[in-house]
Amino acid sequence: MHEISIAESILQIIEDTARAEGYARVKVVWLEIGQLAGVETESLRFCFDVVARDSIARDARLEIIETAGLGWCMECACNRVVTSRYEPCPDCGSFRMEVTGGDEMRVRELEVE
């Protein structure tokens, strides 16, 4: 389960930002996670609660914003929404799709005190 290491990385970002910005508590964390990022969101929620338990983010609510997967079809030269890395182009059926978005993850915003 790589979600525990992702949760630890999120907490590290939060703590580094808290030191730089000088806030005492995090109430809400908004994450953008792409559909193709390979992250199990419910596992991530559980792991985040565990790693944040004794930190500045204890009891913080984790809000996850899922972004669509995007792919470029090399056959028909078009950008399309995709839900899997290995699905064919919805227009021409080609499997020559290159992922162009939706595989990223980032801390979008924090609500702090």
CATH of the domain at 24: 3.30.2320.50
- Confirm whether 13 is domain-assigned: yes
Mean pLDDT of the chain: 94
Nearest to 113 by CA among 65, 57, 45, 48: 57
Strands 105-112 and 26-34: antiparallel
Chain segment 22-77, per-residue pLDDT in tens? 999 999 999 999 999 999 999 999 999 999 999 999 999 999 999 999 999 999 99
Q: Within 10 Å of residue 71's Cβ, how many Cβ atoms?
A: 25
- Confirm whether 83 is domain-assigned: no
- Confirm whether 76 is domain-assigned: no
Q: How many domains does the chain have?
A: 1
- Confirm whether 77 is domain-assigned: no
- Confirm whether 84 is domain-assigned: no
E-strand ranges in the chain read 26-34, 61-67, 69-73, 78-82, 97-101, 105-112
- Domain residues for 7? 3-68+101-112
- Confirm whether 78 is domain-assigned: no
Residue 59's SS3 state is coil
